[in-house]
Structure 1
Amino acid sequence: MAIDWTDRGVVLSARPHGEAAAVAVLLTREHGRHGGLVQGGRSSRQRANLEPGTLVAARWRGRLAEHLGTYTLEPVHGYAAVLLDDPLRLAALTAACALVEAAAPEHEPHPAVFDGLIALFEVLGGTAWPEAYVRWEMGLLAELGFGLDLDRCAVTGSNDYLAYVSPRTGRAVSAAAGEPYRDRLLPLPGFLAGRGGGGRDETLAGLRLTGHFLERHLLNGPLPPARGRLVERLERQPA
């Protein structure tokens, strides 16, 4: 018996398949990261629907769950389309889609990852979106099995001026306890430690922090190129 389901999904990527079709990878809310063939996906009408960051109503049909199957997609909202005139925000959206595609297990539902991705897209138009993006990466780590422990110092148990994170355990370390080992620890930005702040340099420090654990615990390898391009664009911004 064929399998047939409907769900909401975010397009993570699409690649050409044959002369007219495309293979789309979606993060669906109830069916996880899932690929499927889109007939006519290379047509001018369909290409816009397959841009990363597009929210769609998806129907997937296939003989077996492990088969590629086919998608029928109806666009709901094109988040990338409203960011086309802002390369930095668009780079953040693209990086988020690439990270989810690389890190999310295939066919394994993670509704919180789906909801978090949509929430990120919604705040990309705001002023504090870079800090929100770092928090989103922290949420992705937590939902997929490696949450950072930033509530108290791993050495003293206190929460007095947490300034570092252990690259091995992901636990916070206070400024006093970490000072002798600062060269071996990852800086903890103030906005992640409850001290306010933010801005370009703190955002970059936050991305170095989350990037370390994404590579080590979720990807078992390098970050997607789109994530690197986001950092490069941020580095070119005024401090």
Structure 2
Amino acid sequence: MEWIDEALVLSARPHGENAAVVTLLTATHGRHAGLVSGGQGVRAQPLLQPGNVVQAKWRARLSEHLGHYTLDLMANHTARWFDVPEVLSVIASACAVTEASLPERQPMPGIFAGLQALFQLTDPDLWGVAYVKWEMEILRALGYGLDISKCCVTGETENLAYVSPRSGRAVSLEAGRSYHDRLFPIPSFLLGSALWDADAVRQGLEMTGHFLSRHVFAHPHSRLLIATPGDLPRARQRLAEYYHAATRAVAEVAMA
């Protein structure tokens, strides 16, 4: 068995004395693991950074075997953003969420294309917003998409302000007024606004994180990343903590 495909590195874990089990998201073969000889070596580390784009050649005697990878680097995204913590946190979170949420060896071309587009952004200010939108696409692809097109109570399409944590559907400002504290506010950038801040990204992460935890990670595909069902991957938790801290910092400056 053999195939060649473009892929994104999701993780690399030590195996034996010097090899590594590398998990990729491939363009046409889905989330797929394989063994890389010498993967623990110094020379292999730049190649195996999460988020890197590689050309992967996979070979195995039988299709159900783990198999071996030969990888060639096509793009190193982490090196490009080594001095921008926000972007590095987004890359780490996206790779962890992908590995923990997607079934193995099932093609997910839309998720692959979305992740490629996210990692190719050139403006660091766009990464947080784009990441929230990408998590919404993950939810949609797995059958748990949110519907923010109209109010689930009145049917109106204007003045949408909240999302129900139960149904994942939008609620208008008026319909949700009396119980707004039990709803998720819809971030401005999901309603077409070109203006946003760290708090809007924080709101978006809280909303998508709730549905990922409830629907996707309640039965995770990777116990290495999700120790307790319902938890978010640690890298995803760190990303949320980053935007919480950024929101607090802005508030403190405003109060000074």
TM-score by length of 2: 0.89
Structure 1 residues 16-165: aligned runs within 5 Å: 16-123=14-121, 125-165=123-163
Query: AA paired with 1:110?
Result: M
User: What is the RMSD of the two structures over their aligned residues, measured on CA atoms?
Assistant: 1.2
Query: Structure 1 residue 124: deviation in Å?
Result: 5.8
Match of 2:237 among 215, 228, 239: 228
What is the CA distance between 1:195 and its match in structure 2? 3.7
Give the number of equivalent residue pairs.
237
- Displacement, 1:130? 1.3
1:219 paired to 2:217: yes
Does the CA contact (< 8 Å) of 1:89 and 1:124 recur in 2? Answer: no
- 1-structure distance, mates of 2:106, 2:209: 23
List runs of 5+ in structure 1 lacking aligned partners: none
- The amino acid that maps onto 2:151 is C
Q: Paired residue for 1:203? A: 201
Partner of 1:167 in structure 2?
A: 165
2:180 is equivalent to residue 182 of structure 1 = yes
CA distance in 2 between partners of 1:8 and 1:24 (Å): 14
Instruction: Give the fraction of aligned pairs with identical amino acids, expressed as a percent.
Output: 51
Post-superposition offset of 1:183:
2.4
1:211-239 Cα shifts (integer Å, max 9, x gaps): 01111112212110001111112222243
Structure 2 portions without partners, runs of 5+: 219-229, 251-256
- For residues 14 and 125 of structure 1, the distance between their equivalents in structure 2, rounded to whole angstroms, comes to 28
> For the residues of structure 2 that align with 1:72 and 1:78, how far apart are their CA atoms?
17
* TM superposition score normalised by structure 1: 0.95
